[in-house]
Amino acid sequence: MKKKTLFAVALLVIIGVVVLLWLKAQRATPPLESAKPAISETAKSAAQSPTASPVGQTPRAAAQPAAKKLSPEEKRRETITAWERARETEVEFWGKVIDQHNEPVVGVAVTATVTTHQIPPPGFKPQPTTIYSANTDASGVFYIKGRSGRGFTIETMKKVGYLLPPALQNRTDNLFLYNYDQLDPKGFKADSTSPVVFHMWKIEQPEKLIKGEGFYGIIPDGGFYTIDLLTQKHARGETLGDLKVKIDRPKNVKWGARGYDWSWDIEGVGGGVIETQDEFMYCAPESGYLPRYDVKISANDEHWSDQAKRQFYLKSREGKIYARLEVEILANYQDKAVFSVKYYANQNGSRNLEYAPPQTVLQESRIKPPTNAPTPKP
């Protein structure tokens, strides 16, 4: 019994000692705190800065200067400029020059410009015009590469001893214009394998031709008038001359009226006429002349007009005279009709229609009925 009692006392003493040691340990240990993120030396330095953000917060972005507020006009210009730039492309152009015999022309000097339609930003001046130049090679080909733009203009095309088509010979610039607009489905597409072909006439043997023009009043009743190119006179009916003309339309049609039937005829006296689209008309064909060329215009024609323009080669007086003609017909002009003609005629029986001096060229007739219009010859 004594042994059990001693064992119990010893056990209680041991438990008491353990409890005392545990309590002592609790008093020596500091209270447990929440873990905090480590702060680097750099962060500590930043935290000490007067402008630093508090630790644990996302720093604010550096202050940016306020964007300039655009006026409505400046915004409009900026929008248009961006739109215009999207329409432009870097210009490349290939061309080829040939003569009347389809032979390449070497050494033709070509100049060109590229145009842009951008509206310059406020405070900026438009870009200066740059002149690009090139010369044709042994194949008659030239190549020009320019800056970005929407338009390409061939300003000049020159070589001594060669002529441009008559319609261009009096121009000093702006010969040919091509549209490079990227947003235009019909815009020009340059192709190195298919250069644009241009024609120049190699001067061979200019002759002294009869140069003339006439603005003749015609009674539009279907009666013929005969015109003499040598004297520039015209007369009603059959007389000596080179071509016969008639115009027919209803009577009492007021000037400016539209939508009526009318017609006109032209004949080569002792020869014939050939309608042509030739650019130069410097050599009359040897054959193929028709004795009569007639045109009928219906009031119901979709493209009805009371005017007509044509180009002809003329052979008259049994081949003694060859000529090139530009004619314009006015069906209704000051209560009459008008036959207008500009021509060059060779009375030597030669088909050569190169005019001497070559600087003098046939120009396109532009007859319109202005307020102070000339009175046709009776």
Q: Dihedral, CA atoms, 165, 167, 172, 178, nearest 10 degrees?
A: -80
| pLDDT for residue 3 | 60
Mean predicted lDDT score pLDDT of the chain:
82
The dihedrals phi and psi of 128, each to the nearest 5 degrees, come to -70, 155
Cα–Cα dist 266/245, whole Å? 5
The predicted-structure confidence for 324-333, as pLDDT tens digits, reads as follows 999 999 999 9
Q: Which of 40-54, 226-240, 245-259 has the lowest mean pLDDT?
A: 40-54
Q: Please report which confidence band the pLDDT of residue 369 belongs to, taking 50, 70 and 90 as the band edges.
A: very low
- Tell me which residue of 143, 26, 38, 166 sits closest to 91, measured CA to CA: 143
Query: Is 312 a residue whose pLDDT tops 70?
Result: yes
Distance CA 94, CA 135 (A): 11
In this predicted structure, the answer to whether residue 122 has a pLDDT above a threshold of 80 is no
pLDDT value at 351 more than 80: yes
Q: What is the pTM of this model?
A: 0.67
In this prediction, residue 21 carries a pLDDT of 64
pLDDT of residue 357: 61
**For tokens 């020869």, what's the residue?**
271
Name the pLDDT band for 75 (thresholds 50, 70, 90).
Answer: confident
- 318 by DSSP, 3-state: which? helix
pLDDT tens figures, 137-154:
999 999 999 988 888 999
Domains of the chain, start order: 72-202 (2.60.40.10), 210-346 (no CATH)
At residue 302, does pLDDT exceed 60? Answer: yes
